[in-house]
């Protein structure tokens, strides 16, 4: 199963990439919405895990583009912003499948990814 991890924080990308690879996932990475869109078009990952607040094309713009192309694509939005109702509502309105407030435990994200993979989420 392929995951696309998108975050402008290189350390966050590295941690998530390493964590999911350790659990048997193939991981593709990007550091902004524009690069994420290019990776998405090339690899068609099974699940997208994206930050919302990034310079340039942010996670919201990326989510909009994905939804125009693939309305059912599992898309997990994560950010400290997801703890604020207006940002969570925006992500949900744009079609985020799930929203996680950062910081979160990697095990929480892994559990969500597994649920999506097994069709339980």
**pLDDT tens digits, residue range 84-119?**
999 999 999 999 999 999 999 999 999 999 999 998
Segment 9-50, tens digit of pLDDT: 999 999 999 999 999 999 999 999 999 999 999 999 999 999
Query: pTM, whole model, 2 decimals?
Result: 0.95
CA proximity to 49, closest of 119, 1, 90? 1
**Domains, the chain:** 2-47+54-117 (3.40.50.2300)
E strand or H helix at 29, and its extent? Answer: strand 26-30
């Amino acid at each position: 199963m392929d995951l696309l991890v998108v975050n402008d924080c290189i350390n966050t990308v590295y941690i998530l990439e390493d964590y999911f690879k350790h659990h048997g996932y193939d991981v593709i990475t990007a550091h902004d919405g524009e690069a994420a869109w290019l990776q998405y078009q090339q690899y068609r990952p099974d699940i997208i895990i994206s930050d919302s607040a990034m310079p340039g094309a942010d996670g919201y713009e990326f989510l909009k583009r994905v939804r125009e192309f693939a309305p059912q694509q599992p898309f997990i939005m994560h950010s400290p912003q997801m703890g604020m109702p207006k940002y969570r509502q925006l992500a949900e309105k744009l079609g985020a499948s799930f929203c996680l407030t950062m910081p979160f435990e990697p095990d929480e994200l892994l559990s969500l990814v597994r649920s999506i993979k097994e069709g339980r989420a």
